[in-house]
Amino acid sequence: MERTEHGRGAAPSDAPAVARSTAGEPARPPPTDSGPPPGGGSRRIPLTVGAGVVLVLALGGLMIWRAESRTNKIALSSAPTPVTVVKAGDTPYREVRSYIGTVRPWVEASVGPQFISAYVLTVLVRPGAVVKAGQVLATLDCRNESSASEAISSEARAIEARQKAIADEAARTQKLLSGGFVSENSVEMKLAKSAAEEASLAAQRASLAQSTLRVSDCVLRAPFDGEVGNRFADPGAFVRPGMPIVTVVDRSTVRMVGDAPESDFAVVSAGTPVRVRLLSSATEMKAAVTRRAPAADPGTRTVHFEIDVSDPKRTIPVNTTMEVRVDVGTPVPASSIPIYAATVANAKATMFTVKGDVASSLTVVPIGEIEGRLYFHPADLAPGTEVVTEGRALLSNGAKVAAHEAPAPVHGSHAEIIPDGGEAHP
């Protein structure tokens, strides 16, 4: 009989293992057969890496395919160049002469002191004020001139009183001469003294008139009906003779003045119809040359001409810039294109024309340019020819193009002023 101790000895090999524990330690459960086999985690890592590589390769291939699909396989030289074209217009050409001038008032006056220097006391008007002839515009501080005038006036009255007394005494003395009571010498002395006093009185009266002018210069009045154009001084300013305080202009009739080269002497003769464009208001009007100088300016060799326009409503600003256009000669058939559709050098214009889908270079001599358009003989550029306006820098002679016509330009409306003072209309 075999003897064993409790907790010691080996159990039979066919008996299930029994967990044993030492004092104070929990018993461990026996292993089971439901867990993964040894080495299973190491087999999942290569599979994950392989799947990631395949995914990266697939994404890379997809990106390469997309990039190649967007690449243009056709050479740019063989593709038509997109351009914008405009058709040459069938517009008669007439030579036009243009002159720059100034719109002047009918009359203009600078109002200021003429004889005295003084401080400005009041200025009663501002620019834009409508004034009447004789209306007071400004006053000066003339207390000194007024006092001097009063002194001269008093002295003149005293001289006049003395002269009258001496003249009466001379008359009485002359009556005594016939009775022999006085000598002829005494009478002549009295008469000479009376004449001297009379001359002194005349001189004093002249001084008084001059002083009166100086005093009247202290009150500045409008010389004619009009409007105040500018104001140059305020109360407290010191002014001298010749310094303007305000200006007065009469715009009931305006004078449009300009100068033409001496070669255009006949072009601006009196009565020639003209078109006038006012830059200040972007308006146009028709008028005629009113007068022309008979001689050219010696310094500039230009001929002065003027155009009078009645403007009773005073709508035209003065001292502004205007442009005068005069038609010369007779109209001739021509074709025209915008000036930006061609390159002008050495009096020749180079452009690209389009026929079908082919662009051809063309160099011709223009017959003139008016208001941003070039004019050509119809034999050089037929009306209706398509001319490239945008994309010329990319073209060469014979290049293929894909042309589309430019939209028609929208011209801004302009007002026309009626010379007789009627309402402007677009």
Nearest to 6 by CA among 20, 25, 16: 20
Residues 149 and 86 in one domain: no
Please say which residue of 207, 230, 253 terminates a domain. 230
Residue 335: partners with Cβ closer than 8 Å, 6 or more residues away: 88, 89, 90, 91, 375, 376, 377, 378, 381, 382, 383, 385
Name the pLDDT band for 57 (thresholds 50, 70, 90).
confident
Q: Is residue 366 part of a domain?
A: yes
Summarised one tens digit per residue, pLDDT across range 258-269 is: 999 999 999 999
Which of 15-24, 155-164, 284-293 shows the lowest mean pLDDT across its residues?
A: 15-24
Residue 222 has pLDDT above 70, yes or no: yes
Mean pLDDT computed over every residue of the chain = 81
The full length of the chain comes to 426
Q: What is the pLDDT of residue 9?
A: 42
Summarised one tens digit per residue, pLDDT across range 224-249 is: 999 999 999 999 999 999 999 999 99
Q: Is residue 118 part of a domain?
A: no
Q: Is residue 338 part of a domain?
A: yes
What's the rounded Cα separation, in Å, for the pair 245 and 215? 17
Q: What is the pLDDT of residue 175?
A: 72
Residue 383 has pLDDT above 50, yes or no: yes
Q: What is the pLDDT of residue 223?
A: 94
Q: Is residue 155 part of a domain?
A: yes
Q: What is the pLDDT of residue 26?
A: 52
Residue that has been written with the tokens 């009627």 in this structure: 422
Residues 87 and 138 in one domain: no
What's the rounded Cα separation, in Å, for the pair 214 and 152? 13
Residues 91 and 134 in one domain: no
Q: What is the DSSP string of 136-159?
A: EEEEE--HHHHHHHHHHHHHHHHH
Domain count for the chain: 2
Residues 180 and 87 in one domain: no
Q: Is residue 154 part of a domain?
A: yes
Kindly state the tokens that stand for 20: 């044993």
Q: Is residue 52 part of a domain?
A: no
Q: Is residue 109 part of a domain?
A: no
Name the pLDDT band for 360 (thresholds 50, 70, 90).
very high
Residues 359 and 397 in one domain: yes
Give the pTM: 0.59
Residues 91 and 142 in one domain: no
Residue 126: partners with Cβ closer than 8 Å, 6 or more residues away: 228, 231
Q: Is residue 368 part of a domain?
A: yes
Residues 87 and 155 in one domain: no
Which residues in 85-110 are b (16+ Cβ under 10 Å) and which e?
bbebeebebeeebebebebbbbbbbe
Q: What is the pLDDT of residue 148?
A: 64
Summarised one tens digit per residue, pLDDT across range 70-107 is: 766 655 556 888 999 999 999 899 988 999 999 999 99
Nearest to 103 by CA among 423, 417, 356: 417
CATH number at residue 341: 2.40.420.20
Please say which residue of 179, 203, 230 terminates a domain. 230
Please say which residue of 199, 230, 261 terminates a domain. 230
Residues 177 and 86 in one domain: no
**Residue-number span of the structural domain to which 401 is assigned:** 82-95+331-405
Residues 342 and 390 in one domain: yes
Residues 146 and 212 in one domain: yes
What's the rounded Cα separation, in Å, for the pair 146 and 152? 10
Residues 130 and 167 in one domain: yes
Residues 142 and 199 in one domain: yes
Name the pLDDT band for 407 (thresholds 50, 70, 90).
confident
Q: What is the pLDDT of residue 37?
A: 54
Residue 208: partners with Cβ closer than 8 Å, 6 or more residues away: 149, 152, 153, 156
Contact in structure between 254 and 299 (CB atoms under 8 Å):
no
